[in-house]
């Protein structure tokens, strides 16, 4: 992106329209977070329920003071350590933040993305950007510009192509509005890294969709049916119209199957996270009957990957026959 292109994108934001832009996590669908009408366009484009809060993106840590009514010391420590980066922090909000952004809650989710295009766009726009993932609600998050174009198309006024997202998973979300910080969504920053800085955090078993983005029990799903196998459960009979997603080497007979992919042949969790949504998009485009997925170890980034895979599989359990 050259300066003139980013200038054009910032003008679109200032006019109350939508720009899809890359971050290190996934592509975001951005609008002026302080303009309720512009934010409403995000919900319309995504067909997203209005009760689901949005994350507000900033380009400088100092801007938190404009949006948050209270910044506890633990939040300052997290910001200094992990920003810019894939960590979203929930704080008590100021009145300047519209209710449509927060789902009517008294708190706001804020993060500073670690991507030069995102940071420059926010800076040139002169406002924080409300930006959920640039995909239809509940479906696969986009990690490439082509994913945005295919699934949102003309609903977006401009799509900035910044290549493939380096992390490939949404940000981790932590709520610091209470005495003990609470992780509400596992993501591209491992919880263990957070705990190494601020100590133990709460990890609730049940999450409320009204508190944080992406916490519905069904979410992040392709249109193709997804079946998440149990640990050590073998694949059903291998067929040409089924897709297969594994973690590690592809064993026979999948090593030559046209629709079998490995998130990481070397079992690297960082590589697996970066490939997750891209590979699900790829299999979803093949007009398959079903995608079978082998579980991976739920440690570090593996916990976030498994969270996305469970929700993708749960989508089809929620649908009526």
In a domain, 171, yes or no: yes
- Check whether residue 103 and residue 248 sit in a common domain: no
Residue 97 CB: number of other CB atoms within 10 A? 23
pTM: 0.88
Does residue 292 sit in helix, strand or coil? strand
Pairs from 60-68 (Cβ < 8 Å, separation ≥ 24): 60/112, 60/123, 61/112, 63/128, 64/91, 64/110, 66/94, 66/96, 66/128, 67/91, 67/93, 67/94, 67/96, 67/97, 67/108, 67/110, 67/128, 68/92, 68/93, 68/94, 68/108, 68/110
- CA dist., res. 97 & res. 80, Å (int): 23
- Check whether residue 280 and residue 164 sit in a common domain: no
Encode pLDDT of 192-233 as tens digits: 999 999 999 998 665 444 456 655 555 678 899 999 999 889
**One digit per residue, pLDDT tens: the chain, 321 residues?**
667 889 999 999 999 999 999 999 999 999 999 999 999 999 999 988 877 899 999 999 999 999 999 999 999 999 999 999 999 999 999 999 999 999 999 999 999 999 999 999 999 999 999 999 999 988 899 999 999 999 999 899 999 999 999 999 999 999 999 999 999 999 999 999 999 999 999 986 654 444 566 555 556 788 999 999 998 899 988 999 999 999 999 988 899 999 999 999 999 999 999 999 999 999 999 999 999 999 999 988 999 999 899 988 886 655 443
- Check whether residue 32 and residue 91 sit in a common domain: yes
Residue 133 belongs to domain with CATH number: 3.90.870.10
When divided into structural domains, the chain yields a total of 2
Query: Do 261 and 283 meet the contact criterion of CB atoms below 8 Å apart?
Result: yes
**Domain that includes residue 136, residue range:** 3-198
How, if at all, do strands 107-111 and 55-57 pair?
parallel
In a domain, 220, yes or no: no
- Check whether residue 234 and residue 179 sit in a common domain: no
Residue 242 belongs to domain with CATH number: 3.40.50.11030
- Check whether residue 30 and residue 74 sit in a common domain: yes
- Check whether residue 72 and residue 11 sit in a common domain: yes
- CA dist., res. 294 & res. 58, Å (int): 37
């Amino acid at each position: 992106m050259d300066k003139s292109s980013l200038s054009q994108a910032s003008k679109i934001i200032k006019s109350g329209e939508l720009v899809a832009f890359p971050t290190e996590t996934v592509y975001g669908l951005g609008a002026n977070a302080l303009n309720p009408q512009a934010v409403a366009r995000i919900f319309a484009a995504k067909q997203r329920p209005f009760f689901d809060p949005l994350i507000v993106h900033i380009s400088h840590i100092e801007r938190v003071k404009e949006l948050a009514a209270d910044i506890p010391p633990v939040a300052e420590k997290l910001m200094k350590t992990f920003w810019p980066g894939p960590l979203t922090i929930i704080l008590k909000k100021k009145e300047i933040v519209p209710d449509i952004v927060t789902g009517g809650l008294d708190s706001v989710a804020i993060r500073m993305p670690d991507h030069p295009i995102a940071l420059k766009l926010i800076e040139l726009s002169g406002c924080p950007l409300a930006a959920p993932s640039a995909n239809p609600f509940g479906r696969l998050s986009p990690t490439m510009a082509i994913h945005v174009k295919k699934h949102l198309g003309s609903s977006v006024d401009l799509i900035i192509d910044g290549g493939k997202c380096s992390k490939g998973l949404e940000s981790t979300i932590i709520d610091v509005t209470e005495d003990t910080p609470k992780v509400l969504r596992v993501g591209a920053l491992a919880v263990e890294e957070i705990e190494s800085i601020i100590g133990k955090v709460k990890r609730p078993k049940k999450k409320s969709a009204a508190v944080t983005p992406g916490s519905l029990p069904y979410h992040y799903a392709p249109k193709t049916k997804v079946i998440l196998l149990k640990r050590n459960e073998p694949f059903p009979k291998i067929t040409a119209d089924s897709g297969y997603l594994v973690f590690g080497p592809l064993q026979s007979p999948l090593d030559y199957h046209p629709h079998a992919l490995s998130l990481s042949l070397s079992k690297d969790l960082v590589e697996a996270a970066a490939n997750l949504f891209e590979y699900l998009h790829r299999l979803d485009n093949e007009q398959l009957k079903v995608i079978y997925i082998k579980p991976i170890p739920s440690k570090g980034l593996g916990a976030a990957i498994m969270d996305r895979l469970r929700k993708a599989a749960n989508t089809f359990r929620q649908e009526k026959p």
